[in-house]
Amino acid sequence: MPEEFIEDEFDIDESMRELDALDAEIQEILRFEEIQSAAYDKAFAWWDVVDGSPSILKRYKSSIVSLEKMFPTLSDSPEDRFSRGTLLVGLVSAYEGLVHDFFLLCCQSYALATKAASNLKNLLPEDKSYLGLKVDCPRDELILKLKKKTFHDPTQVTRLCNVLFELPLPKAHEKEVLYYNALLKARNSYTHNGGYEDGKEFKVSMKTLRFSFKYFHMLADSYERHIGERAVTAADEADKT
């Protein structure tokens, strides 16, 4: 009696081709679902940031308002020189706290923190150096570095937000950059040298003080607006995948 083989009952080669085609289709579906899932993870992450932002913005603005309560007691008199400079130091300190809290809020999201780690290669050399990065690092190490560092330069904060978290904050105008540089120079002189630089007094007028506080109020409002817009964009991108 001749032996019977399964192959005798159907075309195994044709069936193998059909299986290969089906497997390719399944893999394509899985890849699509993975891409779609990642897109929705990012969208949900940004909405989590939107939900978490009010508390840190409220704390920031509360700090600024408490400092502004000192304005009526001050004038441009020489006797108030150090008090004016100290308020400027307090303003920058409040901003540092806001940025620190915002970066950590973003890093609470696995999706955003992982994306930030993958974007380290796109940082400018000076930003890599400031973070203490000689080479790229994993997500957890990046989070630790962001926790330890202070960020007081809005220009650098904009770059880091754009590159690490893909939050498209607008680039500062040339006049803004000049203002930041002068502000931080004054802040450093009052923080470390009692308001003097190379033996010369660093003066901060009430006009400059009022402008600085108003500007940093508006800067926080701008951050809040762009965070909301980024969440909407991420949701739209997820829906289109």
pLDDT digits (tens, 9 = 90+) for 37-92: 555 667 778 888 988 999 999 999 999 999 999 999 999 999 999 999 999 999 99
DSSP per-residue letters across the chain: -----GGGTS-HHHHHHHHHHHHHHHHHHHHHHHHHHHHHHHHHHHHHHHHHHHHHHHHHHHHHHHHHTTGGG--SSGGGHHHHHHHHHHHHHHHHHHHHHHHHHHHTSHHHHHHHHHTGGGS-HHHHHHHT-SS---HHHHHHHHHH-----HHHHHHHHHHHS---PPPPPHHHHHHHHHHHHHHHHHHHSTTEETTEE----HHHHHHHHHHHHHHHHHHHHHHHHHHHHHHHHHHH-
Q: Mean per-residue pLDDT for 227-232?
A: 87
Q: pLDDT category, 35, cuts 50, 70, 90?
A: very low
Q: pLDDT category, 105, cuts 50, 70, 90?
A: very high
Phi-psi region of 132 (alpha: psi -120 to 50; beta: other; left: phi over 0): left
- Delimit the domains of the chain by residue range: 6-240
pLDDT at 81: 93
Question: What percent of the chain is predicted at pLDDT more than 70?
Answer: 81
What is the rounded average pLDDT for all residues in the chain?
A: 85
What predicted TM-score, i.e. pTM, was given to this entire model? 0.81
pLDDT at 1: 44
Lowest-pLDDT range of 25-39, 65-79, 101-115, 190-204: 25-39
Lowest-pLDDT range of 36-50, 52-66, 93-107, 130-144: 36-50
